[in-house]
Structure 1
Amino acid sequence: MKQERYDTQRTIDRRTLVRRTGALAGTVALAGCTGTDGEDDENGADDGTDDDVEAVPEIVEVEDPPEAVYVPTHREQMRTLEPIEDGDVAIAPMLSYPHPFWIVAGGGEDSVERVDPEEGHGVHMMFTAWDRETGTVLPVDDGVQLRVFQDGEQVGSPLSPWTMISQEMGFHFGDNVSLPGDGSYAVEVELPALSTRKTGGLEDRLTEAASASFEFEYDEAFREEVVGGVEYLDEELWGERGALEPMDHGDHDHAGEADDHGHEEHSHDDEADDHGHEEHSHDDEDNHDHDGADDHSHGDHDDHEHGDENEHAHHEIPYSQLPPAEEYPGTLLREDGADGTEPTDDADLPRSGDAAVVATLLESESRLASDERYLLVSPRTPYNRVPLADATLAATVEHDDESGTDTVLEQTLDGEYGLHYGADVAAEPGDDVTVSFEAPPQVARHQGYETAFLEMESLELTVPEETE
């Protein structure tokens, strides 16, 4: 059944200001923070870390958030390092303060587990990986290895970062990494060959493992940048149905005003929106589609006095955004009992667990099909169109003669249509198609996504009588 989401949403039609954690003069005051910088140990010895800025900001969380995508209380700050290329793959490392995230194993509310960072020093280390030829962000499979070194000695044990989604970063992988204190660190990251089925411009490619090495400085300046740069949204937006816009890594200073919808304006006059809040209005949702990598590519950095670490003005980091519904070929399936019109944009798509779902039937002549029609199902986040990977989907086609066929939909990464689930099906005009979510997306989530995409009900769809 389609979710009646607009009855519970309101359009943000006023201008609001973001509250910064630091004073305007540049002095960062974070009362109640959980960091332990500069504290003496039990013997009275200083730990050698400057205590001017705490390691972790005080983050207020939304009480009783909806079982859907919602606006968090704040916008994070991060440092983006120079992308690294290895063969067909590019990898962009990003660093922020340690913060909670949620992992999913199985389905339902009981499958979600919150992961809190350890106390003390550390970073939240994130990576976006993409195919250099097509710009497609890669849903890196399990098997990523991460090692951190200081002065040639490995810090802790190797880590296996989690695949994650966030409103600002889209699909990426990352983890909290504990550090012994201030200093220079070297990182080695290894990505396995992509095992997901690949089609189109990705077919028979990305079959080799990739690796990247980089260095970063963890010090007071870093903490002032990422902790002191946290921005709190207007309290009336907290928990509202909606999402932050994708982050523009070229703009670390969001101290401007929002547009009338609380929606971030990546304008060319250096005025940035403070809310990054996507318009909720049904009528205006098309106006906020992010079509194409250039609209939200991660561009230039301000020089935060870190020289080479931020000198990548011409390196664009793609955001994992799927095409809008109208750009998919074939015939979009309708919900059972719909008014006879097919969806015209993502706002009209069927919903399951607050995920918007494109379900389209491609003719047998399609490059994705073999002998029969190809059913392409593309679940995505409802505002930024981030793909929902590592779910388990199946389809049941019921014919007029009351016979039916069950088909498992295979996760597929296509160079043109992005991540989706698909298979050949014997479906004809007038047939009913049930798309079942046997397991929700098994990806970790940042705040604002942790209550969505968990209880995913089946979708009852119909193949229109007239197909293309």
Structure 2
Amino acid sequence: MDRRTFLRRTTAVPVGLAVAGCGAPGGESGEATGDAESGSGADTGDETAGGTPPIPRIEDPPAAVYLPGHRKSMRILEPIEAGDYALAPLLTYPHPFWVVTGSYRRIVEPSAGRGVHLMLVCWDPETGVVLPGDAEPRATVSRNGDEITSRSLWPMLSQEMGVHFGDNVALPDDGTYTVRVDLPPLPTRRTGSLAGRFTEGGTATFELTYDRAFREEIVDGLELLEQERWGERGALEPMTRRDDGGMNGRSADVPYSALPPADDYPGTHLVDPDADTDANADAGLPRSGDAAFVVTLLEAGSRLVDGEDRYLLVSPRTPYNRVPLVNMSLRAIVERDGSTIADRRLEGTLDAAFGLSYGRSITDVRPGDSVRIAVESPPQAARHQGYETAFFEMEPLELAIPPA
């Protein structure tokens, strides 16, 4: 029995989906359920309908980052440029993902029939910094001049791909399709070498071929993890490129959106006064909702702020691959002797050295001041399996400025 036959027959894998907190916007958490496999699930003999392999869905996953039951196979197309942007298109089989509205999540199942999961990784070609999820590209798919679909792609978080944009795209049948990508100006505040760039959008065009060979490639490349590890706390490693053009790990041509380690951030690192661990080590960073936070107070004169104020930098990231948590709303409250010294909403900022962070200038702060970082909204990004239950119940961080 070859690997593809084995994957077709895994429809009997004895796992289901009962994802905590997977209700529609406005619904109660913990109510949504689904089937045990994605796609149409029909066995057509040589391949599942539309080339979608059955994949395990984890029963009762933790409210944290966890290992899914499988690693996807992907096809990477040649990177292209669009104005100041560089982007790489990636293709895999249609599969479920979760979209986020406020503090609620909703599962999006792929439609029955043929199609692909289209992904774009966008970055700055000069620095390699992956761009955050607030400049959503529009993808228009056509064939022989006839438009098939046009939509804005979701900003997404994936253990294998990091920050990217994507969606399931239904295709009428086999053939070669043209995809036009329109990128808007980047609204995120930019500092350092990124200041003044990405003020205009960009446009790029590429072709994708959808056929039986593609479907066999992505089904053959799907890798099941050992069943005893399904749902275990942890994360898949970033992807790389195979010699045959597919992907089974991280590609040298496509940057991964890993933030710097905590020790690479300058300034005075804020600490949890009740914790015994070293706040400058990633393993000991303050946590909320299974997210890790670097919180540091930069000295006056930093390029991240105008004037002589100090700058409070907050860098939330996933706990294993250091993926930035995009599209969050954070507030910092500084108190001294029971009085509020500052209460500021933090601004998302992109910097070549620090990646995506959130911050504001702060005046008259002193050692011993307490700093509360409140999460007003969790990351507003769609989630691939393994991230869909994390980063929701996010309690405030209670920190302090240590002695000089």
Per the TM superposition, whether the score is higher than 0.5 is yes
Does the residue aligned with 1:30 lie in a helix, a strand or coil?
helix
The Cα of 1:204 is off from its aligned counterpart by: 0.8
User: Do structure 1's residue 245 and structure 2's residue 237 form an aligned pair?
Assistant: yes
Structure 1 consecutive aligned stretches of length 4 or more whose deviation exceeds 6 Å: 36-39
Distance 1:165 1:367 in 2: 29
In structure 2, the CA distance between the partners of 1:96 and 1:402, relative to structure 1 (3 Å rule), is same
**1:441 paired residue number:** 379
Distance 2:41 2:298 in 1: 57
Distance 1:439 1:320 in 2: 21
Equivalences for residues 230-379 of structure 1 within 5 A? 230-250=222-242, 296=250, 298-299=251-252, 316-339=253-276, 342-369=278-305, 370-379=307-316
Distance 1:451 1:180 in 2: 33
Distance 1:206 1:96 in 2: 29
Distance 1:100 1:337 in 2: 40
Superposed CA RMSD in Å reads 2.2
The Cα of 1:35 is off from its aligned counterpart by: 4.5
In structure 2, the CA distance between the partners of 1:403 and 1:172, relative to structure 1 (3 Å rule), is closer
**1:89 paired residue number:** 85
One-letter amino acid matched to 1:71:
L
The Cα of 1:252 is off from its aligned counterpart by: 7.0
Distance 1:404 1:193 in 2: 36
TM-score when normalising by structure 2:
0.88
The Cα of 1:415 is off from its aligned counterpart by: 1.2
Is there any run of 5+ residues in structure 2 with no aligned partner, and where? 12-36
In structure 2, the CA distance between the partners of 1:29 and 1:402, relative to structure 1 (3 Å rule), is closer
Does the residue aligned with 1:335 lie in a helix, a strand or coil?
coil
The Cα of 1:38 is off from its aligned counterpart by: 10
User: Do structure 1's residue 118 and structure 2's residue 118 form an aligned pair?
Assistant: no
Distance 1:229 1:454 in 2: 32
**1:71 paired residue number:** 67
Specify which of 412, 421, 428 is matched with residue 358 of structure 2: 421
Distance 2:273 2:396 in 1: 12
User: Do structure 1's residue 412 and structure 2's residue 349 form an aligned pair?
Assistant: yes
Distance 2:241 2:330 in 1: 34
One-letter amino acid matched to 2:163:
F
Does the residue aligned with 1:451 lie in a helix, a strand or coil?
coil
User: Do structure 1's residue 30 and structure 2's residue 8 form an aligned pair?
Assistant: yes
| Cα deviation 1:309-348 (Å, max 9, x = unaligned) | xxxxxxx110000000000000110013234x74232100
Distance 2:43 2:54 in 1: 17
The Cα of 1:87 is off from its aligned counterpart by: 3.0
Distance 2:284 2:72 in 1: 31
One-letter amino acid matched to 1:435:
I
The Cα of 1:181 is off from its aligned counterpart by: 1.1
One-letter amino acid matched to 1:213:
T
Q: Is 1:70–1:243's contact at 8 Å kept on the other side of the alignment?
A: yes
**2:125 paired residue number:** 132
**1:457 paired residue number:** 395
Does the residue aligned with 2:215 lie in a helix, a strand or coil?
helix
Q: Is 2:294–2:315's contact at 8 Å kept on the other side of the alignment?
A: yes
One-letter amino acid matched to 1:30:
R
In structure 2, the CA distance between the partners of 1:372 and 1:400, relative to structure 1 (3 Å rule), is farther
**1:195 paired residue number:** 187
**Alignment coverage as a number of residue pairs:** 373
Is there any run of 5+ residues in structure 1 with no aligned partner, and where? 1-21, 40-50, 255-265, 267-271, 277-295, 300-315
Does the residue aligned with 2:322 lie in a helix, a strand or coil?
coil
Q: Is 1:99–1:176's contact at 8 Å kept on the other side of the alignment?
A: yes
**1:393 paired residue number:** 330
The Cα of 1:28 is off from its aligned counterpart by: 6.8
Q: Is 1:28–1:53's contact at 8 Å kept on the other side of the alignment?
A: no
The Cα of 1:355 is off from its aligned counterpart by: 0.3
| Cα deviation 1:160-184 (Å, max 9, x = unaligned) | 1100010000000010000001111
